[in-house]
C-alpha cells in the first residue's frame, strides 16, 4: 500500500471502491455517494473545529461557494482522489437534491459561523425551509417552549440575506449536483485524465456571472422566481396554526428591522450590499405572502415599513415583481390589495391633515399607494390583455419609434407611467383585469385629497412632490373630475392672460371663444363658427366658451352653454340628420358608414364633444363603450360587439362555440357579410379576397370573427371616426384626460352618472332667502319632487341646473340652492341655471306649488320667455 494511502484512510477508501466494484450500477451508486460527501464537506464541513483538510468547510480554508461551484469542485476532488474527512458520513447527508443556502438541514437554527474569523464574509447565514419550520414547530410543541421558534423567526426575518436564501426551490432540475449525478455512469467514473473539464469550467463560469457584485444588477425580463411560493404558503399556514401571541410580536419586530435595513440599502447604498436584485425580490415575495399583513400590528407597523422599502425599488425590479405576482400569486392579489386599502384608510381617517401637512406628505399613505401601483399592473397582467395590434396606427408608430417618450392617445404632452412603459402595457390593454378596476378606488382617500394642491404638485417640476394624479387608479371618478377641472380652468385663464398681453401690445384678441347662434339655425351657425376657429387658430378652442342666443337676454355664466350643448346634441345626433345611426337593440348612437357629410363635419362634432368635456358640461349622448376606447387609441375588437350589438354578439358566440365538423353546412356562412345602410338598402363586403367562396370552418372561425368585428367597428367607419377623433383631440390634446380616466370613466364624464337618486340631491341642497330645511314650502317642494315620474324629475333637473344629466359621483355632487322668492303668489318659479339656484315663492299649499312647478318645468325654454 502506498504511503499516500497509508496516511489517508479516506483516500484508501476511494481506491478500494474503484478497485472492488465490478458492477457498473454499484460503481455509479458508490460514486454518487462519494461525490455527495465531497459536496457536503465543501458546503457544511465535517463538524471538527480543528480540521486541517483544505477541502473541508470546517477548516476555514474553503471560501463561500455557491451550489454550482461546490458541485463542480466536488467532481474535481472525486477525480483527484482528494482527502475525505471521516466526519462527513454519507448516511448523514446522502440526498440527490440541493437545499438552498450554505448550511445543511442537520444544523439547527440559528446558525453561527464555523470559520474562526471575525470577517462578516466568512459567516454563514441562517435560512428557513418548510421542513425546517415544521420541525421547529413540532419540537416547540413537544417541549412546550417556543423560544427556538421566536429566535429563528427573529434571525431569519430580520435579515434580508437570510430571508433571500429561504424557501428556495429544490427540484432536481434546479440542482447542479443532482443534474451531474444523473449523467451516464461512465461520465462520472472515467479516469481523471478523461473527465469532462468543459462541463466543470462551464459550471464555474456560470457561477461567476451569478456572483457579480455590480451595484446596479440587471433584472431579466421574465416572470420566474427561485422562491418556492407554495412551500411558503404551507409553512405560513402551519405557523399560524399556533396561537398568535406566541410569535407574532417577534415577527413584527423582525419585519420592521428588515424593512429599515432594505430601505437603507436602496436609498443610501444603492443595493451594493446585495448580490443581485433577484435576491432582494425574493425577500419581498416571501414577506408579502404573510397572511396577516392586514391585521393589527402588522398593518400599523410592519406593512407600512415594508411598503416604504418596496417603493424604493428601481422601476425594472418593480416590473419583475409585477410579472411574478401576476403569474405565481394570483390568489394572493385580492388579499394583498385589501391589506393595502385598509392601511391607507386607517391612516387617512386617523390622520390630522392641514393645508401645510396634507395626505400627499404622509409616507404612511403614499408608500402603500406606490405598492398598489405594482399590484394594479400585476392584476392587468393576470387578466385578459388585448394584443399590441389593437393599438391604433398613429399610436403604434409613436410607441415603436421611441419607447421612453411614448405618449397616450389624447394626452399630447403627458408621458406614460414609467412602470407601464417598462412592462409594455397600458390600462387600455386590460380587457378584463384579474381584480376589477373599481376595487382599487379608495373613497376616504379621495374625499380627503385637496385636488387643487394635488394638481399643483402634479404640475410641479420638483421630483419629490407626490401627486395622486400620477396614481389615478386609486381615486374615484368624481375626484379625478376635479383634477381635470383645475387643468381646464388654468388653461382657460392662461389663454385669457395671453389675450390681455396681446391687447396691451396692440394686437387685441378675444379672451373667450364666443359663439353667437340663432335657435332656428343652431347647427349651421355653430358649425360654421367652429370651423372658422379650427382653421384660423385652433388654440382658441382652449378658451372659455361663451354662447349667446340671438335676440335673448341670457348672459352666459355657464347655463347658456349647457342649453346650447343640449340643443346641439338633440339635433346633430338625430338619425334624421344623417351623420349618425341608432342601433336597434341598444338604442345607442353609431357613425353612419354611408354618410354623405364631409370629414370636416365629423371633425366639428368631435370638437363639440371635446368642448363639452373642456367646459365641464354633461351631454345626453349614448355612444357604445368602443367609441371611448377608440378615442383613447385602441381599435374595436370582437369583445366590443357585446356592448355594440348584443344580438349579433350572441350569434357570433354560438358560431365560435360550435364544435361540430359540419360548420359550413350548419351555418352556411362565408367571408362575405351583408349590412344595411341608413336607407335600408342591403350592401355586401368581402372580409377576404374571394370571400364569397370561402366558408367559415373550425379552422378559420376565429379569423372570421376578428375580421367581421374589425370591419363593423373600424374599417366601415374609418373615415368618419378618424375625422371625429381629430376634432376631439384639437380640444383635449394637452389635457391629462388619458392619464386620469379609463374609457368607462370618460363615458361618465361625458354622459354623467347613471344613478338618479333625488334623495342625494335633497341631502346636498342648501337654502337661502329665509328658507330652511324645515320650511313648509321646502317640505312641500320635496314631497312633490319625490312623487314625480323619472321623466318629470329630469325636466326639473334641467329647469334648475340647465342639464338633465347626473354629474359624475351622483346628485350629491350637484350643489343646488333653493331661495325664497317672496310670499305666496301666482308667479312661476324661476331658475338661475348658471348657479343652480331655484327661486321658489312661498306657496301656501302643496297643490298650488305642484301646479306652478309643473308648468314651469314643462313649458319654459330659453331666456326672458317667462
Output the domain CATH number for residue 599: 3.90.1750.10
From residue 673, how far is each of 62, 645, 682, 689, 691 by CA, in Å?
76, 16, 10, 13, 9
Number of domains within the chain: 4
pLDDT for residue 548:
84
For residue 88, being part of any structural domain is answered with yes
The answer on 819 and 697 residing in a single domain is no
Q: Is residue 654 part of a domain?
A: yes
Q: Which of 862, 865, 864 is nearest to 566 (CA)?
A: 862
Q: Indicate whether 801 belongs to any domain.
A: yes
Boundary (domain end) residue, out of 211, 233, 263: 211
Query: Phi then psi for 821, rounded to 5 degrees?
Result: -120, 65
Q: Which residues partner with 832 through β-bridges?
A: 837
Residues 741 and 842 placed together within one structural domain of the fold:
no
- Peptide bond preceding 110 in cis form (omega within 30 of 0): yes
Of the candidate ranges 588-597, 704-713, 748-757, the one whose mean pLDDT is the lowest: 748-757
Nearest CA to 524 out of 536, 514, 516 is that of 516
The answer to whether residue 186 scores a pLDDT higher than 80 is: no
More confident residue, 321 or 220: 321
- Our CA dihedral for 416, 420, 424, 427, rounded to 10 degrees, sits at -90
609 and 535 both lie in a single domain? yes
Render 357-394 in DSSP notation, one character per residue: S-GGG-HHHHHHHHHHHHHHHHHHHHSEE--GGGB-HH
In a domain? residue 567? yes
CB of 491 within 8 A of CB of 542? Answer: yes
| Cβ proximity of 472 and 739 under 8 Å | yes
- Helix axis angle, 197-210 to 67-79, nearest 10°: 160
pLDDT in tens, 802-816: 776 777 767 777 778
CA distance 572 to 866: 28
- What pLDDT, in 10s, does the model give residues 302-345? 999 999 999 999 999 999 999 999 999 999 999 999 999 999 99
> What's the confidence (pLDDT) of residue 700?
92
Percent helix, strand, coil in the chain (nearest 5)?
60, 5, 35
Q: How far apart are CA 240 and CA 344, in angstroms?
A: 25
Neighbours of 560 (CB within 10 A): 23
Quick check: 717 and 709 in contact, CB under 8 A? no
* C-alpha cell belonging to residue 305: 415599513
For the segment 819-834, the average pLDDT, to the nearest whole number, is 84
H-type helices in 430-512, by residue range? 443-448, 451-459, 477-504
**What is the spatial distance between Cα 619 and Cα 605, in angstroms, rounded to a whole number?**
13
Report yes or no on 439 lying in a domain.
no
Q: What is the CATH number of the domain that holds 642?
A: 3.30.2160.10
Q: Is the distance from CB of 751 to CB of 621 less than 8 angstroms?
A: yes
Closest Cα partner for 825 from 849, 857, 847?
A: 849
**74 shares its domain with 206:** yes
DSSP 837: E
- The whole-angstrom separation of Cα 623 and Cα 616 is 18
Cα Rg, the chain, nearest whole Å: 36
Q: What is the model's pTM?
A: 0.73
Structural domain harbouring 790: 758-859
Q: Is 599 among the domain residues?
A: yes
Question: Do 735 and 658 have their domain in common?
Answer: no
pLDDT recorded at residue 271: 59
What are the cell numbers at 106? Answer: 442537520
Q: Do 48 and 91 meet the contact criterion of CB atoms below 8 Å apart? A: no
Q: What is the pLDDT of residue 185?
A: 46
Rounded Cα distance, 77 and 80, in Å: 5
Give the phi and the psi of residue 859 in degrees, each rounded to 5: -120, -5
Q: At what angle do helices 303-310 and 277-287 cross, to 10 degrees?
A: 160
End-to-end CA separation in angstroms for the chain:
125
Residue pLDDT, tens place only, 611-661: 888 888 888 788 999 999 999 999 999 999 999 999 999 999 999 999 988
Strand order in the sheet with 837-840: 766-768, 817-820, 837-840, 830-832
678 with 725, same domain: the answer is no
Q: Render 298-323 in DSSP notation, one character per residue.
A: IIIIIHHHHHHHHTTS-HHHHHHHHH
| Segment of 81-85, 484-488, 708-712 carrying the highest mean pLDDT | 708-712
Output the DSSP codes for 247-294. THHHHHHHHHHHHHHHHHIIIIITTTTSS-HHHHHHHHHHHTT-TTTT
Q: What is the pLDDT of residues 69-121, one digit of tens each?
A: 777 788 888 777 788 886 544 433 333 333 333 333 333 344 333 333 333 44
In a domain, residue 616? The reply is yes
* Residue 513 host element (H or E): strand 513-517
Q: Taken in order 634, 636, 642, 643, is the CA torsion positive or negative?
A: positive
CB 303 within 8 A of CB 339: yes
Task: Give the catalytic positions in this structure.
Answer: 834
Rounded mean pLDDT of 174-199? Answer: 47
Single out the residue in 704, 733, 751 at which a domain terminates: 751
Q: How confident is the model at residue 532 (pLDDT cuts 50, 70, 90)?
A: confident
Write out the H or E segment, with its range, that includes residue 24: helix 24-43
Report how far residue 408's alpha carbon sits from residue 417's, in angstroms, rounded to the nearest whole number: 10
Q: Is 514 helix (H, G, I), strand (E, B) or coil?
A: strand
Query: Does residue 558 share a domain with residue 517?
Result: yes
What confidence category does residue 408 fall into, taking pLDDT thresholds of 50, 70 and 90?
very low
Q: What angle do CA 424, 427, 432 make, to 5 degrees?
A: 110
Whether residue 214 has pLDDT greater than 60:
no
Bigger pLDDT: 221 or 81?
A: 81
**Looking at the domain assignment, is residue 845 inside a domain?**
yes
Shared-domain flag, residues 732 and 605: yes
- Is residue 734 domain-shared with residue 809, that is, in the same domain? no
Instruction: Mark whether 672 and 603 lie in a shared domain.
Output: no
Residues 558 and 654 in one domain: no
Same-domain status, 616 and 668: no
* Residue 735 grid cell: 389635457
For the stretch 237-292, pLDDT in tens is 999 998 878 888 899 999 999 999 998 888 876 655 566 788 889 999 999 999 98
CA dihedral 269, 275, 277, 281 (to 10 degrees): -100
CA atoms within 13 A on the CB side of 770: 10
Reply yes or no on whether the pLDDT at 39 is more than 70: yes
Average of pLDDT values for 724-743? 90
What number of CA atoms fall less than 13 Å from residue 115's CA on the CB side?
A: 22
Res 407 pLDDT > 90:
no
H/E element, 646: helix 646-657
Q: Which among 211-220, 261-270, 689-698 has the top mean pLDDT?
A: 689-698
Amino acid at each position: 500500500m502506498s504511503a499516500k494511502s497509508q496516511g489517508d484512510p479516506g483516500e484508501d477508501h476511494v481506491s478500494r471502491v474503484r478497485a472492488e466494484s465490478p458492477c457498473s450500477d454499484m460503481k455509479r451508486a458508490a460514486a454518487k455517494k462519494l461525490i455527495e460527501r465531497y459536496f457536503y464537506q465543501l458546503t457544511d464541513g465535517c463538524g471538527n473545529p480543528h480540521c486541517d483538510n483544505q477541502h473541508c468547510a470546517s477548516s476555514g480554508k474553503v471560501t463561500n461557494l455557491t451550489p454550482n461551484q461546490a458541485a463542480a469542485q466536488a467532481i474535481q476532488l472525486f477525480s483527484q482522489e482528494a482527502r475525505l474527512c471521516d466526519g462527513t458520513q454519507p448516511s448523514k447527508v446522502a440526498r440527490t437534491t440541493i437545499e438552498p443556502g450554505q448550511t445543511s438541514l442537520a444544523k439547527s437554527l440559528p446558525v453561527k459561523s464555523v470559520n474562526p474569523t471575525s470577517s462578516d464574509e466568512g459567516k454563514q447565514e441562517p435560512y428557513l425551509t418548510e421542513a425546517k419550520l415544521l420541525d421547529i414547530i413540532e419540537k416547540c410543541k413537544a417541549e412546550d417552549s417556543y423560544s427556538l421558534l421566536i429566535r429563528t423567526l427573529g434571525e431569519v426575518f430580520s435579515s434580508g440575506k437570510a430571508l433571500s436564501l429561504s424557501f428556495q426551490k429544490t427540484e432536481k432540475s434546479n440542482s447542479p449536483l443532482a443534474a451531474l449525478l444523473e449523467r451516464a455512469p461512465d461520465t462520472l467514473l472515467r479516469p481523471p485524465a478523461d473527465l469532462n473539464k468543459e462541463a466543470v469550467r462551464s459550471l464555474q463560469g456560470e457561477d461567476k456571472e451569478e456572483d457579480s457584485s455590480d451595484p446596479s444588477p440587471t433584472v431579466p425580463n421574465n416572470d420566474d422566481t427561485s422562491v418556492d411560493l407554495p412551500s411558503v404558503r404551507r409553512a405560513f399556514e402551519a405557523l399560524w396554526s399556533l396561537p398568535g401571541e406566541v410569535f407574532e410580536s417577534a415577527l413584527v419586530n423582525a419585519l420592521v428591522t428588515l424593512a429599515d435595513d432594505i430601505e437603507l440599502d436602496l436609498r443610501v447604498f444603492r443595493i451594493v450590499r446585495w448580490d443581485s436584485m433577484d435576491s432582494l425580490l425574493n425577500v419581498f415575495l416571501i414577506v408579502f405572502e404573510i397572511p396577516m399583513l392586514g391585521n393589527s400590528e402588522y398593518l400599523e407597523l410592519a406593512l407600512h415599513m415594508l411598503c416604504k422599502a418596496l417603493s424604493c425599488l428601481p422601476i425594472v425590479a418593480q416590473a419583475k415583481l409585477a410579472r411574478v405576482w401576476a403569474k405565481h400569486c394570483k390568489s394572493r392579489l385580492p388579499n394583498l390589495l385589501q391589506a393595502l386599502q385598509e392601511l391607507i384608510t386607517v391612516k387617512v381617517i386617523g390622520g390630522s391633515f392641514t393645508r401645510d401637512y396634507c395626505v400627499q406628505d404622509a409616507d404612511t399613505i403614499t408608500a402603500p399607494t406606490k405598492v398598489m401601483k405594482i399590484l394594479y399592473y400585476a392584476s392587468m397582467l393576470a387578466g385578459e390583455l388585448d394584443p399590441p395590434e389593437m393599438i391604433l396606427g398613429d399610436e403604434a408608430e409613436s410607441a415603436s419609434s421611441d419607447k421612453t417618450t411614448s405618449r397616450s392617445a389624447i394626452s399630447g404632452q403627458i408621458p406614460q407611467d414609467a412602470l407601464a412603459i417598462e412592462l409594455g402595457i397600458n390600462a387600455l390593454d386590460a380587457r378584463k383585469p384579474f381584480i376589477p378596476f373599481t376595487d382599487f378606488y379608495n373613497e376616504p382617500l379621495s374625499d380627503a385629497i385637496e385636488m387643487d394642491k394635488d394638481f399643483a404638485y402634479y404640475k410641479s417640476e420638483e421630483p419629490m412632490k407626490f401627486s395622486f394624479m400620477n396614481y389615478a387608479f386609486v381615486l374615484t371618478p368624481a375626484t379625478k373630475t376635479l383634477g381635470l377641472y383645475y387643468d381646464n380652468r388654468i388653461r382657460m385663464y392662461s389663454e385669457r392672460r395671453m389675450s390681455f398681453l396681446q391687447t396691451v401690445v396692440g394686437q387685441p384678441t378675444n379672451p373667450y371663444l364666443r359663439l353667437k347662434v340663432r335657435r332656428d339655425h343652431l347647427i349651421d351657425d355653430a358649425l360654421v363658427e367652429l370651423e372658422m376657429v379650427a382653421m384660423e387658430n385652433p388654440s382658441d378652442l382652449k378658451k372659455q366658451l361663451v354662447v349667446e342666443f340671438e335676440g335673448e337676454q341670457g348672459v352666459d355664466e355657464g347655463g347658456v352653454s349647457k342649453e346650447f350643448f343640449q340643443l346641439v346634441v338633440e339635433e346633430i345626433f338625430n338619425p334624421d340628420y344623417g351623420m349618425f345611426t341608432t342601433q336597434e337593440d341598444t338604442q345607442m348612437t353609431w357613425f353612419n358608414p354611408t354618410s354623405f357629410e364631409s370629414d370636416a363635419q365629423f371633425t366639428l362634432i368631435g370638437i363639440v364633444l371635446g368642448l363639452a368635456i373642456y367646459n365641464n358640461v354633461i351631454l345626453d349622448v349614448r355612444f357604445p363603450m368602443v367609441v371611448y376606447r377608440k378615442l383613447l387609441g385602441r381599435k374595436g375588437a370582437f369583445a366590443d360587439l357585446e356592448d355594440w350589438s348584443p344580438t349579433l354578439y350572441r350569434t357570433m358566440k354560438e358560431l365560435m362555440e360550435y364544435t361540430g365538423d359540419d360548420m359550413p353546412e350548419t351555418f352556411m356562412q362565408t367571408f362575405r357579410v351583408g349590412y344595411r345602410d341608413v336607407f335600408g338598402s342591403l350592401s355586401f363586403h368581402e372580409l377576404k379576397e374571394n370571400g364569397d367562396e370561402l366558408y367559415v370552418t373550425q379552422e378559420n372561425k376565429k379569423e372570421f370573427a376578428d375580421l367581421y368585428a374589425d370591419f363593423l367597428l373600424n374599417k366601415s367607419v374609418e373615415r368618419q371616426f378618424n375625422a371625429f377623433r381629430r376634432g376631439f383631440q384639437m380640444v383635449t390634446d394637452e389635457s391629462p384626460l388619458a392619464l386620469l380616466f379609463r374609457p368607462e370613466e370618460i363615458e361618465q364624464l361625458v354622459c354623467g352618472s347613471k344613478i338618479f337618486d333625488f334623495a342625494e340631491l335633497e341631502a346636498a341642497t342648501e337654502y337661502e332667502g329665509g328658507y330652511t330645511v324645515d320650511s313648509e314650502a321646502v317640505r312641500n317642494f320635496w314631497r312633490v319632487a319625490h312623487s314625480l315620474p323619472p321623466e318629470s324629475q329630469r325636466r326639473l333637473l334641467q329647469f334648475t341646473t340647465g342639464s338633465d344629466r347626473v354629474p359624475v359621483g351622483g346628485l350629491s355632487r350637484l350643489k343646488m340652492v333653493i331661495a325664497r322668492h317672496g310670499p305666496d303668489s301666482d308667479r312661476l318659479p324661476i331658475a338661475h341655471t348658471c348657479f343652480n339656484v331655484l327661486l321658489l315663492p312661498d306657496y301656501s299649499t302643496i297643490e298650488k306649488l305642484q301646479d306652478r312647478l309643473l308648468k314651469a318645468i314643462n313649458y319654459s325654454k330659453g331666456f326672458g320667455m317667462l
